[in-house]
Amino acid sequence: MAMMKGLQMLVNALTQLQDLIQETKYREVAQTLAAVKQISASFKSYRGIPRINRVWKQIQEIQGQLKAQIDADLDVFYLQDTSKQSNHLSSRTAALP
């Protein structure tokens, strides 16, 4: 019974994560993704169960989509104002030895 409740919590957290990603609320996304990872860790040994394996794959897909969305958002951000890009690059190169 506890496993079913944990799985339901995981599914609910994934739904919330997807909603937050669509709204580009990245601070909340980070917190929810951390919770998803924590909850999903307890199911790692049960990946042979089809339902859990589907949820596990869904987590991987969401993380891939999130990475692509963040990359695209960063590209748009830096292309909008080239001075931001110059400042970012100079601060990164200043940190190099």
Domain ranges of the chain: 2-87
Q: What is the pTM of this model?
A: 0.74
pLDDT in tens, 33-88: 999 999 999 999 999 999 999 999 999 999 999 999 999 998 888 887 665 555 65
Phi and psi at residue 95, in whole multiples of 5°? -80, -10
d(C-alpha 27, C-alpha 44), whole Å: 26
Return the structure tokens found at 23.
């709204």
